[in-house]
Amino acid sequence: MRSKNQIYEEFLVVSAQLGDRKSLEILIKYRSPRLFSHACGLMGNRDEAADIVQDTWLEITRGLPNLKEPRAFPTWAYRIVSRRCAKAIGQNIKHRNIAKGQAEMPEPAQPDQTDLQAIRMAINALPVEQSATIRLFYLEDFSVKQVAAALDIPLGTVKTRLMHARKTLKSILKGSIDV
């Protein structure tokens, strides 16, 4: 069963495909924060993530008329962001000789923080691949199949990443692993 938000987004996609610029603007405002969050999680750098999302929207607007299934828009958009991030990370490694684009490690959870903040910090402490998988699966409510499509990886890899990420998150949240 699709939610009202999913149906609304599909309407915006179809309207934008038909040339309605206002619908495209609304779609960009609606989806951009989540694409930006995903890019930040992969890149660990807000400025690079913003550039990637901006470039992603250029690619999306060029390719939108060819998208056959409006329902697939979120997965398609995340796949574009993921590929652009992978390319940027590769360029960073090559040109700057840096580590694999790991996000900065978050501050340790303070006793007065809410459980949600502690969970988000724990997710940020995961390896980039696991963090991206967990974010899409739990925070964006993507199915395993949608996560695989968005990250352009096999279904089995998604399941393995989820398994390892859950195990690591459990250890982090129990205090067995320091972040």
Count up the domains in the chain and report the number. Answer: 2
Residue with tokens 């929207």: 57
> Which CATH number goes with the domain that contains 130?
1.10.10.10
pLDDT at 147 over 60: yes
Query: Do 77 and 105 contact (CB within 8 A), yes or no?
Result: no
CATH code of 82's domain: 1.10.1740.10
Residue ending a domain, among 66, 100, 134, is 100
Phi, then psi, of 107 in degrees rounded to 5:
-65, 150
Q: Read off the amino acid at residue 99.
A: A
| Chain length of the chain | 179
Residue 162 has pLDDT above 90, yes or no: yes
Domain check: are 37 and 109 in the same one? no
CA distance to 13, 49, 99, 109, per residue, from 93 (Å): 35, 16, 6, 30
Same domain, 85 and 139: no
SS3 at position 127: coil
Q: How confident is the model over 66-96, as pLDDT tens digits?
A: 999 999 999 999 999 999 988 887 777 665 5
Same domain (yes/no): 96, 113: no
Its domain, for residue 74, covers 1-100
Q: Bigger pLDDT: 84 or 103?
A: 84
pLDDT of residue 94: 63
Residues 68 and 130 in one domain: no
Res. 171: pLDDT tops 50:
yes
- In 10 A of CB 79, how many CB atoms? 18
| Domain final residue pick, 100, 135, 159 | 100
